[in-house]
Amino acid sequence: LFFVTNLLALLWCVGKLNLLFSSPADMKNIKAEPGQDVTLRCEDLHIGKIALLLWSKDDPQEMNLIVIRDGRSLPAAQHESFRDRVFLNNSQMKDGDLSVVLKNVTVDDTGTYECRVRYENDPQRNRNLISTINLSVIPPGEQ
Q: Would the pLDDT of 65 be above 60? A: yes
Contact 55/100 with Cβ under 8 angstroms?
Answer: yes
Domain-embedded: residue 99: yes
* Strand positions, DSSP E, the chain: 27-32, 38-40, 50-59, 61-69, 72-73, 86-88, 100-102, 111-119, 128-137
pLDDT at 19: 35
Domain-embedded: residue 2: no
Task: Give the residue from 42, 10, 50 showing the smallest Cα distance to 26.
Answer: 42
Domain-embedded: residue 17: no
Domain-embedded: residue 69: yes
Number of neighbours of residue 116 by Cβ within 10 angstroms: 20
Predicted confidence (pLDDT) per residue in 75-89, tens digit: 999 999 999 999 998
By residue range, what is the domain housing residue 42? 26-137
Indicate the number of domains in the chain.
1
Domain-embedded: residue 33: yes
pLDDT at 125: 73
Domain-embedded: residue 19: no
Domain-embedded: residue 79: yes
Q: Would the pLDDT of 5 be above 70? A: no
CATH code of the domain in which 112 resides: 2.60.40.10
